[in-house]
Amino acid sequence: MSTMSTEAFTRITERLRSGAEPRAGGTDAMARLRAGLAAGPFADLGALEGLRGTAWGPEGGARIGALTTVAEIAADPVLEAAYPGLAATARALATPQIRHAATLGGNLLQRNRCWYFRNPAFSCHQDGGDTCPARRGDHRGGTVFDTAPCVAPHASSLAVALLAHDARAEVADGRGEPGSRPVGGLYDASDGTRDHVLEPGQVLTAVELPPPEPGERSAYRRATARSRAEWPLVEAVVRVVHEDGRVTRAAVAAGAVARAPVRLKEVEAALEGAPADPAEAAKAVEGVPGRCSPLPGTRYKATLLRDTVRDALERALT
């Protein structure tokens, strides 16, 4: 960042430490403000032009600024060629209007979509309460891996894609050099009180993706109640690398099923060394339902998760 942008960034992080809420595209912040779930003040990140755009490293990896819009990620042909699963995920999000306003960072750090949390008439772990109304109430969209008192799954689709691609998140606080952590390190699946682990004053500035590997293929699939403008019931991004007809590396990430996006390590292990054939997908996902810990209302998600991952794998292996 230039000297001027560094000064602007420092002023923003100071406001965040004093209690302001960060606002990027504002698609969720404004919705929560209208619902009485956010009162401000807000610290607008939009002026930080240094956090926009995609840069490519000498070895072929990408660094995407946190203020890059979802629409820009979806429409970038170079990104799509290198990381087709990420581009497909971005294209599937929300509506064209929201994709043009929503940012990468905002998507990764958004609040959950639980209708009890979003209703001011209820109190829950997310707003300082000590109960989860969804656990005893209507939790059809809830978790299928029960890891926390809160049963609202994380809402970021881009986090699922970045998790599958072993991406890292760059986080800065205006007081020193930015730090880097795996994208999965932005979340705590056991925490029922917040949707990410960043502290006040910390800002997600960029995401770094490693160079794609030779023979790599990826795919994204989601299961929704309607075909457009709908939050997924289950979603999956898979990435497979094959050589001489066999899978040498696999990454399988799932979303809308837990308090944080998850990697399905047992599916990855079943694929590695197997023939790079779509028929192997059914074998790899066979045990997924038995590893779930669903709520009474989310038992359907155990088999839906299995079938969604299988679909993505078949597409990646075809």
Element (H, E) at 187: none
Q: Is the pLDDT of residue 171 over 50?
A: yes
Q: Cβ neighbours of residue 20 under 8 Å, at least 6 residues apart?
A: 40, 41, 42, 43
Mean pLDDT over each residue of the chain, to the nearest integer? 95
Q: What's the CATH code of the domain at 279? A: 3.30.390.50
**Counting runs of H as helices and runs of E as strands, what totals does the chain give?**
12, 11
Domain housing 63? 3-38+49-142+154-209
- Residue 19 CB burial class (10 angstroms; 0-12, 13-18, ≥19): exposed
Span 303-318, pLDDT tens digits: 999 999 999 999 999 9
The whole-number pLDDT of residue 167 equals: 98
Q: What is the mean pLDDT of residues 273-300?
A: 97
Tell which residue, 135, 198, 196, 206, has the closest CA to residue 168: 206
Angular region, 251: left φ>0, alpha ψ -120 to 50, beta rest: beta
Span 190-245, pLDDT tens digits: 999 999 999 999 999 999 999 999 989 999 999 998 878 889 999 999 999 999 99
184 and 223 assigned to the same domain: no
Position 225 in a domain: yes
Cβ atoms within 10 Å, residue 249: 15
Q: Residue 1: pLDDT band by 50, 70, 90 thresholds?
A: very low
Q: Is the pLDDT of residue 152 over 60?
A: yes
The whole-number pLDDT of residue 177 equals: 80
Element (H, E) at 84: helix 84-92
Strand segments (E) across 112-185: 168-172, 179-182
Which token pair is 259? 């308090």
Q: What secondary structure letter does DSSP report for 153?
A: P
180 and 313 assigned to the same domain: no
Number of domains in the chain: 2
Residue type, 163: L
180 and 262 assigned to the same domain: no
Position 272 in a domain: yes
243 and 278 assigned to the same domain: yes
Q: Is the pLDDT of residue 3 over 70?
A: no
Position 195 in a domain: yes
Give pTM, 2 decimals: 0.95
The whole-number pLDDT of residue 227 equals: 79
Out of 209, 228, 244, pick the residue that ends a domain.
209
The whole-number pLDDT of residue 174 equals: 86
Position 149 in a domain: no
Span 47-84, pLDDT tens digits: 898 999 999 999 999 999 999 999 999 999 999 999 99
Q: What is the mean pLDDT of residues 265-288?
A: 97
Q: Is the pLDDT of residue 276 over 90?
A: yes
Report how far residue 9's alpha carbon sits from residue 45's, in angstroms, rounded to the nearest whole number: 8
The stretches of 133-279 forming alpha helices (DSSP H) are 133-136, 157-164, 265-271
